[in-house]
Amino acid sequence: MTEAVEISDAGRAATARAGEWLRVLGQLKAEVGEDAYRNWLRPMHLERINDGHAVIAAPTRFLRDWVITHYLDRLLALWQAENDEMTRVSVIVARPQRYAHVGNSAEPDDDESDPSGPSAAAHGPALEIGDERTQLLALDHRFVFENFVVGKPNELAHAAARRVAEACVSPAHTVPFNPLFLYGGVGLGKTHLMHAVAWHVRKHACDRKVIYLSAEKFMYQFIRALRFKSTMDFKEQFRSVDLLMIDDVQFISGKESTQEEFFHTFNALVDANRQIVISADKSPSDLEGMEERMRSRLGWGLVADLHPTTYELRLGILQSKAEQARVAIPLKVMEFLAHRITSNVRELEGALNRIVAHAQLVGRDITLETAQEVLQDLLRSNERRVTIDEIQRKVAEHFNIRLGEMTSDRRARAVARPRQVAMYLAKQLTTRSLPEIGRKFGGRDHTTVMHAVRKIEELKGTDAALTEDVELLRRMLQR
């Protein structure tokens, strides 16, 4: 435990210093302009800092001499403004350190508080994100803007992603909103949009450095850096990034030291006016296990959510995918799929692929019947996804009471009975627990829900009208 504390302190200090260097560079860039910056300053790396003496590494002697004669005084002055303990900056010739891979485990560790592990006697960690060019290793070639179908539920996120991509390749290299925060449930296109931004930048301005990585990978690399005491190198990986994209940031909630590091990297890059794009499954304010300052900071730029798909969007996506795959699928079949596979786009794609594969395998045309047969299991699992909100709405509508009565304290039979029906249906049609259901009904106790469920079951044996109501509602909700 002592060991872990010690390392994370060292990590913090290194992080803070690397952050200073990034800020100094950012300011210098503003002074000298984009071109000079790219030619002379961007290739520099922070080698080390000891007792107020910073050592900068230049890749060639020529660059070293140029930086010394043209920028050194200014560098020191800016640095001293950041940190008054700085007394000296020198420039040496050295290639940034490159490490051999250690082992080949690519899985993130699940316990970050244990930085012990394979000994790194001869090698350091493998930092895979330091390439000079865009990081394309993990990018899916299908995830481009051209293949993204835009509809009401995703139009804001799409427009924002495009804006960022275009600004990044514009000569002015502006940063429209920082960060761009994309959020939404699984399979709604967050990763697709982020890859699309990376591809766009890659295509139109290949000198821009783009890093795209999952938050898990970020965490994994950070933990390795801690383990091998090379947080400085870790930080350096991000130094010259123009665009940093971190996917699924909810994975670092609850991981304190990774969050801390992420926060520093984030702030340093924002201060240096680099574009950041983040995705998560929830809005910044709903990210549990995330520090308050981090949550609020994540919401500073533009927050764009991807809503669940609509029927029209699903149909549009199916048509586009069928076209890409060059297979003829009857409109009827596509309409059926768009109606029935409502969970997310990934499942919709999966369904389409299955139908196509089946048709090719048996050498027969695709019909509604074969589609239904091939997708039996998928259809079943999509059937039961009813939300409590939906239930409350439908039940209130059916009994002609206000939606607010679902959560109100009124006990009059005219509102209490429908409320009980809704609780009963919530128990039957969703996987929510009794306490969860209680909370949704104005913070009621789980025993109240249990009582409602029993009451309706009881009445179903005796009250024909109510039984009919319940069955009608159930059918409507399951559609």
| Interface residue list for ligand ADP (CB under 6 A) | 143, 147-149, 154, 184, 186-192, 317, 345-346, 349
What number of H helices and E strands is found in the chain?
A: 19, 8
Q: Which token pair is 359?
A: 């048709």
Q: Which token pair is 117?
A: 């592990």
Q: How far is the CB of 313 from ligand ADP (least distance, A)?
A: 7
Q: In terms of CB distance, is 114 or 140 closer to ligand ADP?
A: 140
Of these partners, ligand ADP, Mg ion, none, which one is at the site of residue 42 (CB under 5 to 8 Å by kind)?
none
Give the C-alpha separation, 412 to 181, whole Å.
Answer: 45
Q: Which residue is nearest to ligand ADP (CB)?
A: 189
- Name residue 94's amino acid: A
Of these partners, Mg ion, ligand ADP, none, which one is at the site of residue 154 (CB under 5 to 8 Å by kind)?
ligand ADP
Q: In terms of CB distance, is 191 or 237 closer to Mg ion?
A: 191
Q: How far is the CB of 155 from ligand ADP (least distance, A)?
A: 10
Of these partners, ligand ADP, Mg ion, none, which one is at the site of residue 346 (CB under 5 to 8 Å by kind)?
ligand ADP
Q: Which token pair is 57?
A: 């590494």
Q: In terms of CB distance, is 11 or 187 closer to ligand ADP?
A: 187
Of these partners, Mg ion, ligand ADP, none, which one is at the site of residue 183 (CB under 5 to 8 Å by kind)?
none
Of these partners, ligand ADP, Mg ion, none, which one is at the site of residue 15 (CB under 5 to 8 Å by kind)?
none
Length of the chain: 479
Q: In terms of CB distance, is 125 or 153 closer to ligand ADP?
A: 153
Q: How far is the CB of 216 from Mg ion (least distance, A)?
A: 11
Contact 351, 341 (CB under 8 A): yes
Of these partners, ligand ADP, Mg ion, none, which one is at the site of residue 222 (CB under 5 to 8 Å by kind)?
none
Give the C-alpha separation, 474 to 466, whole Å.
Answer: 12
Q: How far is the CB of 38 from ligand ADP (least distance, A)?
A: 32
**Dihedral angle computed from the Cα positions of residues 340, 344, 350 and 356, in that order, rounded to the nearest 10 degrees:** 50
Give the C-alpha separation, 221 to 105, whole Å.
Answer: 12
**CA angle, 130 then 135 then 136, to 5°:** 150
Of these partners, Mg ion, ligand ADP, none, which one is at the site of residue 284 (CB under 5 to 8 Å by kind)?
none
Q: How far is the CB of 281 from ligand ADP (least distance, A)?
A: 8
Q: How far is the CB of 247 from ligand ADP (least distance, A)?
A: 7
Q: How far is the CB of 28 from ligand ADP (least distance, A)?
A: 37
Q: Is the peptide bond before 308 cis (omega within 30 degrees of 0)?
A: no
Q: How far is the CB of 303 from ligand ADP (least distance, A)?
A: 15
Of these partners, ligand ADP, Mg ion, none, which one is at the site of residue 189 (CB under 5 to 8 Å by kind)?
ligand ADP
Give the C-alpha separation, 319 to 160, whole Å.
Answer: 24
Contact 106, 138 (CB under 8 A): no
Q: What is the DSSP letter of 193?
A: H
191 is an interface residue for Mg ion by CB under 5 A: yes
Give the C-alpha separation, 293 to 267, whole Å.
Answer: 11
For 293, phi and psi rounded to 5 degrees? -65, -35
Q: In terms of CB distance, is 315 or 391 closer to ligand ADP?
A: 315
Give the residues lining the site for Mg ion (CB under 5 A). Answer: 190-191
